[in-house]
């Protein structure tokens, strides 16, 4: 099987490529990534010279580029991770979120349809909006209620994917996942930011009162879920993927402090961001029942693994924080 992975130099995309190539070594993977600030080819050093792996630098928002790649490569499957994904950045500059997440997804769908290519779309629980503390968790039938430009753009892309299934018969599946954490996580998000700041003996910025609740999933379990959907999922269906690990941001913060031997004096409470959703939670009953998937890594174990990875890969995150990782493409490929 030949697979196009979009956004494969990012956090979840690169973890997926490592996961898939270990378990499906006869498959070919083409990684299409624009290499924005969050795309890091250093994530893929161990696979970059393998015969069944190929990297293409390109923008999914460029329909001509996308169509050319589809025609030249002849894929069997698209696994679509590529997205602008940071809520704070979507508040300060929404335009790029619409361009990448909506127009880019449409370009991929159009080319997949022309080339008769199966399409798996990776989305987020944020499209469902915000929950109160005692409300039932999100499931596949929860109405969409996005609250930020980021989640609105992802909601639009989900609708486009379904439209291509219902209108044109494109074989699609969608997954809406809770918050991920693990290796190669770009250090603007909570886990890697807090871990690396503490490793540098810097304070950690905690939004508002710290009582916002998220459901956390170790990234390898997410990759396993996508594999289950690709192998056993029903075309046209959506699957919610959750970690069964609801935690307040404050709980997460104190667990990270404890693992790194730091005290609460390292916390710096900062003004909450606009439209900050109070709680996300996923009911993953459908994928558990129909596909036999469930998370295998507990929150405490996943957090220990994540902290250990950042301790052991200091050069990686220091390069990211300095911006030096962006020179890797030039060093490896000799051109911009």
> Any idea which residues carry the catalytic annotation?
125-126, 150
The helix/strand/coil state of 157 is helix
CB 302 within 8 A of CB 296: no
Quote the Cα angle for 258-259-261, to 5°: 60
How far CA 9 is from CA of 44, 68, 82, 83, 185, in Å, comes to: 7, 20, 9, 11, 11
- Rounded to an integer, what distance in angstroms lies between the CA atom of residue 283 and that of residue 14? 26
Determine contact, residues 276/210, Cβ cutoff 8 Å.
no
- Residue 155 tokens read as 């909601």
Q: Is the dihedral of CA 132, 282, 237, 166 positive or negative?
A: positive
DSSP H stretches of helix in the chain: 11-23, 63-73, 87-92, 95-98, 105-114, 149-168, 190-199, 219-232, 249-259, 285-291, 299-312, 314-322, 328-333
At residue 99, φ and ψ (nearest 5 deg) are -65, -50
Q: Taking the chain, what is the end-to-end CA distance rounded to the nearest angstrom?
A: 30
């Amino acid at each position: 099987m030949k697979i196009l992975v979009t956004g494969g130099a990012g956090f979840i995309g690169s973890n997926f490529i490592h996961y898939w190539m270990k378990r499906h070594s006869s498959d070919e993977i083409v990684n299409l990534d624009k290499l924005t600030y969050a795309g890091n080819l250093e994530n893929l050093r161990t696979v970059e010279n393998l015969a069944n792996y190929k990297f293409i630098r390109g923008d999914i928002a460029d329909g001509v580029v996308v169509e050319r790649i589809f025609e030249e490569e002849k894929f069997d499957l698209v696994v679509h991770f590529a997205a602008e994904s940071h809520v704070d950045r979507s508040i300060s500059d929404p335009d790029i979120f619409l361009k990448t997440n909506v127009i880019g997804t449409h370009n991929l769908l159009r080319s997949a349809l022309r080339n008769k290519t199966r399409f798996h779309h990776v989305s987020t629980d944020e499209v469902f909006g915000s929950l109160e503390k005692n409300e039932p968790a999100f499931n596949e039938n929860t109405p969409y209620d996005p609250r930020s430009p980021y989640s609105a753009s992802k909601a639009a892309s989900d609708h486009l994917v379904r439209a291509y299934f219902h209108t044109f018969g494109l074989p699609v599946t969608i997954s809406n996942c809770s918050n991920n954490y693990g290796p190669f996580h770009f250090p603007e998000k909570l886990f890697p930011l807090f871990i690396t700041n503490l490793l540098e003996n810097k304070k950690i910025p905690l939004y508002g009162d710290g009582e916002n609740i998220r459901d956390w999933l170790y990234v390898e379990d997410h990759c396993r879920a996508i594999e289950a959907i690709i192998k056993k999922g029903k075309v046209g269906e959506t699957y919610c993927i959750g970690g069964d690990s609801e935690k307040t941001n404050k709980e997460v913060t104190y667990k990270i402090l404890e693992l790194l031997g730091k005290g609460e004096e390292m916390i710096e409470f900062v003004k909450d961001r606009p439209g900050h959703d109070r709680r996300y939670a996923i009911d993953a009953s459908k994928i558990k029942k129909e596909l036999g998937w469930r998370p295998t890594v507990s929150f405490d174990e996943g957090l220990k693994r994540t902290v250990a990875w950042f301790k052991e890969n200091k050069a990686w995150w220091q390069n990211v924080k300095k911006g030096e990782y962006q020179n890797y493409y030039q060093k490896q490929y000799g051109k911009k």
